[in-house]
Structures are given as structure tokens and as C-alpha cells.
Amino acid sequence: MQPEAISIQEKLNNALSTIFSQKIEVVGAGRTDTGVHALQMFAHFDIESDMKDDIAFKLNSILPDDIVIYEVFLVDNSTHARFDAVSRTYQYKIWLGRNPFLLDFSWQIHTLKPDVLKMNEAAKLLLEYEDFQCFSKVKTNVYTFNCTIFQAFWEQNGNELVFTISANRFLRNMVRAIVGTLIAVGFGKISTEDFRKIIESKNRSNAGLSVPAKGLYLINIKY
């Protein structure tokens, strides 16, 4: 929920409250920055009355076109959309060149072409560490900067360059900062060894820029 902006959570709360004629507040699996896309997201809500039929259909008839509900199902009372998740997977999409149809769905690099091989060499180092304070926003209330990264790699298909990363949890702005730093490796601004030193420094000012939110996609959550 945002005090001065419309949010997905707000729209879901209002739609569910309308359908069930009672105040309902959803709990999402996580939150994303403005402009980030989610191909998959889970949320749970508690309700005292019986579930109604065709809730997904009714929700989609109320919600705006850029929010789609695929399924609504019963879970155990102890199930928590956020805390029960064991892994999340993000992708970051870069378009090498200009494509007006992808302006809101990718970060477009018009001139330089990064070295994907070097970026993959640096990305492998992420699996050797747990503390990623260097990629976290400075002002954030977390009890630990430790994350377990399961995979991190780049793939190129024509003009599209995609970074995939999975972990048990992510810090605020973490993926966008990692991508910005790996791109610096790809452009030859820093070396793979420099990338290792940045991780070990635990200092956000040593890492690269935070790339635009529009290229980031939450694609999978596992429970």
C-alpha cells in the first residue's frame, strides 16, 4: 500500500472486499519497485466465510487490465505467501539496439555491446558468497544481508540479453545493482577480480549503477 500512489495490493484489497462484502487485506509474496514486472506472484488472504465460486473470474472483471488473477485456491491456515517461499527467480532483460515496442519492458543499450562471456565468469562468483550488502540499498531495515544464490547466468538470443538469478531471498534493489555491476564487467570498466573485491567490500558505493526497473521481471516463486 502506498499513501500517495495506486498499488497492486490496493486494487486487490478493494476487489476482494467488494466480492466478499467485508474488509480483506492480502499479503503478497514480496514487493517490487515501481516499474518492475511480475510474471508470477502469490498472495494470501484470510476469510471467515466460505469461498465463493469463480473468484478469479469475478476478480478479473473488477481489476484493471494490467493485473490478472489466474487461480484462487484454499491453503492451510498456517500458510504464508511471503515467509513460506523457499526461492524466487528474477530475470533482467536488455535489448541491444533500439526497439520502440520494448521501451517499457527492457533496458535498451544503443551503442556498446557487452562481453557476455566475462559477465558470466563474474556472475559465477555470486554463488561463492552469502553477504551481499554491497548490492543493497543503504537505508533498509533488514536483520541480515545474507542470501543464498542458487543460480546466476546470462543468455543472449539475437538482440536480447537476459540475466537469470535465483535465491532464497533478495535485498532491496539487489538484482538491479548486480546487473549494473556485471554490465560494468561486460564493458571492460572493471575486471572479474574487481567484481569479487566489490562483494567482499560490503560497500554499496563500490558497486555499479542500479539499472532501470522496467527491465526486471519476477518470474517464479517456489514453496
Query: Per residue in 8-61, pLDDT tens?
Result: 999 999 999 999 999 999 999 998 888 999 999 999 999 887 777 899 999 999
For residues 81 and 76, give the distance between their C-alpha atoms in angstroms, rounded to a whole number.
11
Banded pLDDT at 97 (limits 50, 70, 90): very high
| DSSP letter assigned to residue 2 | B
Q: Is the pTM of this model over 0.75?
A: yes
SS3 219: strand
Amino acid identity, position 193:
E
| Intervals of CATH 3.30.70.580 along the chain | 1-84
Secondary structure element (H or E) that encloses residue 108, with its range:
strand 107-109
CATH for 87-222 is: 3.30.70.660
Strand partners, 96: 109
Measured distance CA(182)–CA(69) in Å, rounded: 34
Identify the CATH number of the domain defined by range 1-84. 3.30.70.580
The residues that are catalytic are 33
Cα–Cα distance list, 144 to 24, 94, 188 (Å): 31, 30, 32
Q: According to CATH, where is 3.30.70.660 located in the chain? A: 87-222
Q: How far is CA 12 from CA 8, 22, 37, 124, in A?
A: 6, 13, 16, 38
Q: Determine the Cα–Cα distance for residues 99 and 106; give it in Å rounded to an integer.
A: 9
**28-43 pLDDT, tens per residue?**
999 888 899 999 999 9
Q: CA separation (Å) from 217 to 1, 39, 139? A: 20, 7, 23
Segment 134-162 shows an average pLDDT of: 93
